[in-house]
Structure 1
Amino acid sequence: MTTKALSIKDIAKKANVSITTVSFILNGKAVEKNISTAVIERVEKIIKDDGFKPNQVARSLRTGSSKIIGLIVEDISNPFFSAIARLIEDKAYKKDYKIIYSSTENHPGKMKELINLFKSRQVDAYIISPALGTEQDIQGLLDEHKPVVLFDRFLPSLDVSYVGIDHFEASYKATEHFLKLKKRNIALVTIDLDVEQIVNRYDGYKQAILDYNGTQNEAFVLKVPFGQEKEATIAQLKELFKQYTEIDAVLFATNYLAISGLTALKEMGKVVDANFSVIAYDDGDVFKLHTPQISALGQPLEEIAERIISLILMQLSSKEVLETERVILSGELIVR
């Protein structure tokens, strides 16, 4: 026989108090409303003993706050996004907020569906690594005065707060490191995707070579189609290294491209050493465990997460629409 779930009315009856009193206790307003400690303890014991769980949507309609923040990323399985998500979750929890998150696979349609889903869950705010073509959906949130912070990818057409690193500077720094090692045939493996951070990574690479060499060989730039299967990417990389045997260093513009690159090199029997250098964008355990260890451009994940949460909480606590902020941090070149 199924036991009927306890309601606020049932709790009030068992505790011999009003429904309003129970509601104040559930919503953290007991002290503010001068409810006695004895009553609070009596109600909380009933709640604990009977396993009462308030309906989150109903609560958000009463209080105007669900204490939930929606996090939308490209791919939660990507080490960069999973690490950021974990840090954001920990920091939000300390401020009494929960995080629900999902991945877009960089599909605008999926992101629109997720925004609508999160709206139905009455989330209080949105943290988004946006896909191209979603400007209108994000603008819709801004028009509704919802707190929104973008990270990793910036959409220039939107007046919205953003946290990210200087991708031009980071890529320039990595390429400059190669050049100082006397590397002169430096390849860039990047994504064929017209988004600001990817474009900036290419521009930083190109500018460093022009500053030191005076000329840049476009043949050494491989643009992999976004979303391409790993096997096809590995085949492309093998072809690049076979065709241009003079390449003596490679900058991979994403961590998953670096993993495909290391796989291709291993299958070709090509060794990463003093004669052939590699730098991966975004650090990860796989690069520390590789033999030899792989140098990487590390993003300050802790600081990124801290600034994101800080901006979101400022928006949530303000009764007015705040001016947007664009926070640009520096990446760290980790030489191994």
Structure 2
Amino acid sequence: MKKKAVSIKTIATNLNISVTTVSFVLNGKANEKHISKLLTQKVLDYAKEVNYKPNQIAQSLRTGKSKLLVFMVEDISNSFFSKLARIIEDIAYEKGYKVIFCSNENDDEKSNDLITLFKFRQVDGFIIVPSPGIKSSIQELIDDNIPVVLLDRYFTGLECNSVVIDNNEAAFNATSHLIQNGFKNIGFITTDSDQTQMQDRLLGYEKAINDCNLNKFILKIPYNGTGNGICKSSIKNFIDKYKKLDAVFFATNYLTQSGLEVFKENASHLIHDLGIITFDDNEFFKIYNPTITAVSQPLTEISNELMKLLLQLLKNKEVKNEKVKNISLQAELKIRESSVSKEIFKVQF
């Protein structure tokens, strides 16, 4: 037979004190309500002894707070997002919140379905990597006074808190690094997207190429083709078409993985002959042969800034009246074997 859960009323009856007093103690308001330390400790000790667990649903109805946050990303299995999720989970837990993780697959319909579901469940706040067409849905969250912070990308003209990195500068620095190491025909492989982070990476590449009067070689792969054979065949055709390429800069880590597979399957010498840089680091790139140079985003700093913004919004009753903050952080170029001058590489290795 299932054991009946201990209630606040039970604790109050057994200790011969009021339900209100027990409630104040268990909700951390003993000092505020001038309840003695002796009585406070007595209630806490007894609650621990009988293994009291608060009724989360009742507590949510009473306080208007679910203590749940949503972390919605493009693909939670992607190493960049999963690492962020782990850090954010720890920060949230220390502040008394639990986190629900989900993937929107960069699909507007799925994004809107998830937002509607979690609004109905009355979660306290959102961190969202938005798909392209949900600007109005984000505005609705703000209008409904629900805390929301955007990650990785933003919507021009939308007054919403966000944390991004300076993708333009990061891509410019990575491309300039290749040029400085003697590479002159540098391909840029990206997704065919109008989203801010991808556009900024493309602009950074183009600026570095234009500054040195070099030729641009750009491949844009449809997002819905990045997870299947279309991606690999597109990369193969691109490499076959521009045989004079001496370096390739991949705009995402999953494109890099597809590209390395293409090289290995069709022309394994290219792995060593081409200069290679990836956007977003991965443990895999540190042990690959050669090790792969990567634009590394500051995961801990991003997570801290996201939670700082969200927790501040959660404290305020009027989210719409809070001053919007758009935080741009700097990425780090982790230089490894794949981007050094091939002449130097041959001498050293």
TM-score relative to the length of structure 1: 0.93
Change (3 A) 1:30 1:81: same
Paired position in structure 2 for 1:37: 37
Per mean C-alpha deviation after superposition, the further-off stretch among 86-95 and 246-255 is 86-95
Q: Distance in 2 between matches of 1:121 and 1:301?
A: 29
Q: Distance in 1 between matches of 2:283 and 2:105?
A: 23
Secondary structure of the structure 1 residue equivalent to 2:9: helix
Q: Distance in 2 between matches of 1:233 and 1:102?
A: 24
Q: Which amino acid aligns with 1:221?
A: I
The CA RMSD measured in Å over matched residues stands at 1.8
Q: Deviations over 1:194-233 (max 9, x none)?
A: 21111111111112111102543xxx31211213234332
Paired position in structure 2 for 1:270: 269
Q: Deviations over 1:258-302 (max 9, x none)?
A: 1111111111223433x4111000011010011111000011111
Change (3 A) 1:205 1:322: same
Q: Which amino acid aligns with 1:255?
A: N
Paired position in structure 2 for 1:290: 288
Paired position in structure 1 for 2:312: 314
Alignment of 1:21-100 (within 5 A): 21-100=21-100
Paired position in structure 1 for 2:301: 303
- Distance apart, 1:180 and its partner CA: 1.1
**Which of 225, 230, 233 does residue 232 from structure 1 map onto?**
230
Q: Distance in 2 between matches of 1:230 and 1:52?
A: 51
8 Å Cα contact 1:57-1:121 kept in structure 2:
no
Per mean C-alpha deviation after superposition, the further-off stretch among 314-323 and 123-132 is 314-323
Q: Unpaired runs of 5+ in structure 2?
A: 337-349
Q: Which amino acid aligns with 1:223?
A: K
- Distance apart, 1:177 and its partner CA: 1.1
Q: Distance in 1 between matches of 2:219 and 2:47?
A: 60
Q: Which amino acid aligns with 1:226?
A: Y
Secondary structure of the structure 1 residue equivalent to 2:224: coil
Change (3 A) 1:17 1:122: farther
Q: Which amino acid aligns with 1:227?
A: N
Per mean C-alpha deviation after superposition, the further-off stretch among 285-294 and 235-244 is 235-244
Is 2:221 the counterpart of 1:221?
no
Q: Distance in 2 between matches of 1:54 and 1:96?
A: 13
Paired position in structure 2 for 1:177: 177
Q: Which amino acid aligns with 2:246?
A: D
8 Å Cα contact 1:186-1:250 kept in structure 2:
yes
Q: Distance in 2 between matches of 1:119 and 1:42?
A: 39
Q: Distance in 1 between matches of 2:118 and 2:38?
A: 38
Q: Unpaired runs of 5+ in structure 1?
A: none
Change (3 A) 1:113 1:11: farther
Q: Which amino acid aligns with 1:263?
A: E
Q: Distance in 2 between matches of 1:215 and 1:135?
A: 36
- Distance apart, 1:39 and its partner CA: 3.1
Paired position in structure 1 for 2:339: none
Q: Deviations over 1:54-107 (max 9, x none)?
A: 232321222233333221111111111111111122222233332222111112
Matched length = 332
- Distance apart, 1:118 and its partner CA: 2.2
8 Å Cα contact 1:255-1:282 kept in structure 2:
yes
Alignment of 1:102-113 (within 5 A): 102-113=102-113
Q: Distance in 2 between matches of 1:249 and 1:99?
A: 41
8 Å Cα contact 1:193-1:226 kept in structure 2:
yes
Q: Distance in 2 between matches of 1:136 and 1:174?
A: 34
Q: Which amino acid aligns with 1:197?
A: Q
Alignment of 1:242-253 (within 5 A): 242-253=240-251
How much identity, in percent, do the aligned residues show? 45
Alignment of 1:200-215 (within 5 A): 200-215=200-215
Paired position in structure 2 for 1:329: 329
Change (3 A) 1:60 1:80: same
8 Å Cα contact 2:163-2:305 kept in structure 1:
yes
Q: Deviations over 1:291-322 (max 9, x none)?
A: 11100001111111111111112222235521
- Distance apart, 1:8 and its partner CA: 2.3
TM-score relative to the length of structure 2: 0.89
Q: Distance in 2 between matches of 1:214 and 1:3?
A: 74
